[in-house]
Amino acid sequence: MPAEPQYNDRQDAGRKLAELLEGYKDRDDVLVLGLPRGGVPVAFEVAQALHAPLDAFLVRKLGVPGHEELAMGAIATGGVMQLNRDVIDELSIPDDVIRTVSLREWQELARRESLYRGSNPPPEVAGKTTILVDDGLATGSTMRAAISALKKQGPARIVVAVPVAANETCAQLGVEVNEVVCPYTPDQFYSVGLWYRDFSPTSDDRVRELLEAANAK
């Protein structure tokens, strides 16, 4: 059996995570990006503690038709598309299938961005120190897609910050970004939710409320 949960909820996790990010406090080059939905409540607490702006960074996996769990690529905030050529070539996936899947996912990403951000533009990450936040990492596939997409937008530095993660995943991501910050990496990970007493789903409305609250003038 796993040990006791480390966090009461995502807010508690975000506050504890922020303590390890003090070096980024009160800097005008720092931007905190939460991965919806569950990463945004954690990112909100981090952004508040660091006095940094908060935004959402959306990632949508491009699943192989019939094998949706297998990613042939991903799309992300800012109009970025990252294709996994190894999967595409190995399975001989035709261009029209890639277009069909990507169009559907672009539509869903646009719907969510409109829901979360309204008419506000996507965040400007070029030249910024970007702190990518989620509520935890198991395999890290979503975070890895976010990193790949974010790199195409030219940030000065990428920091991955999560309250809990599998140790192997942290090690793998550590070679892809400038820094990985994670206060808890249990030997037996099981799943993200086990390390929270309250791991209730985060709604779209809650994501929007937190983004609005963080950026209220």
Domain boundaries, the chain: 10-57+125-212, 60-117
Cα separations in angstroms, 217 against 40, 57, 207, 212, 214? 19, 21, 18, 10, 9
pLDDT (tens digit, 9 = 90+) per residue, 186-197? 988 888 999 999
pLDDT (tens digit, 9 = 90+) per residue, 89-98? 999 999 999 9
| pLDDT-above-70 percentage for the chain | 98
Burial class (CB in 10 A: 0-12, 13-18, 19+), 96: exposed
3-state helix, strand, coil in the chain (%, to 5): 40, 20, 40
> Which CATH class name applies to 10-57+125-212?
alpha beta
CATH of domain 60-117: 3.30.1310
Q: What are 74's two structure tokens?
A: 């991903």
Residue 2 has pLDDT above 80, yes or no: no
Neighbouring-strand partners of residue 32:
54, 131
Cα separations in angstroms, 54 against 61, 103, 173? 23, 28, 22
Burial class (CB in 10 A: 0-12, 13-18, 19+), 173: buried
- On whether the CB atoms of residues 101 and 93 are closer than 8 A, the answer is no
Q: What are 163's two structure tokens?
A: 């309250």
pLDDT (tens digit, 9 = 90+) per residue, 3-31? 688 999 999 999 999 999 999 999 999 99
pLDDT band of 148, cuts 50, 70, 90 = confident
Contacts of residue 192, defined as CB under 8 A and 6 or more positions apart, other chains included, come to 135, 136, 137, 138, 164, 199
Most confident option among 31-35, 80-84, 107-111, 117-121? 31-35
pLDDT at 217: 58
Distance from chain centroid for Cα 186: 21
